[in-house]
Amino acid sequence: MPKALIILFFAVIAETIGTTALQASQQFSRFWPSALVVVAYGASFYLLALTLRTMNVGVVYAIWSGLGIVLIAIIGFFVFGQKLDLPALAGLGLIIAGILIIQLFSTSAGH
């Protein structure tokens, strides 16, 4: 796996941590989750910027945001008890399919 994809993976993880902390911060009314939001998003954007050295911004953003959406939906379901209906699951499946298509078939992905 190319170095940029590994960095992008960690950017997605940091973004997912930040968004999870955002929910836990209760609209920035709790200090430590709020601080974690700032640190995690900062790390995520820094790592995201590093991937732009070798990958197209559109592809990077599609993968970063798409995987972040899917991971947050899973965390929301298991951690916060948020329900997902069939259209939401279908949409998440299409996001995953889109990411796979980009990675497997696109020459724009910067493999």
Q: pLDDT tens digits, the chain, 111 residues: what are they? A: 589 999 999 999 999 999 999 999 999 999 999 999 999 999 999 999 999 999 999 999 999 999 999 999 999 999 999 999 999 999 999 999 999 999 899 887 665
pLDDT for 106: 87
d(CA 91, CA 70) in angstroms, rounded, equals: 10
Residue-range definition of the domain harbouring residue 47: 3-109
Q: Which backbone phi and psi does 106 adopt, to 5 degrees?
A: -85, 135
Domain count, the chain: 1
C-alpha radius of gyration, the chain, whole number: 15
d(CA 102, CA 66) in angstroms, rounded, equals: 11
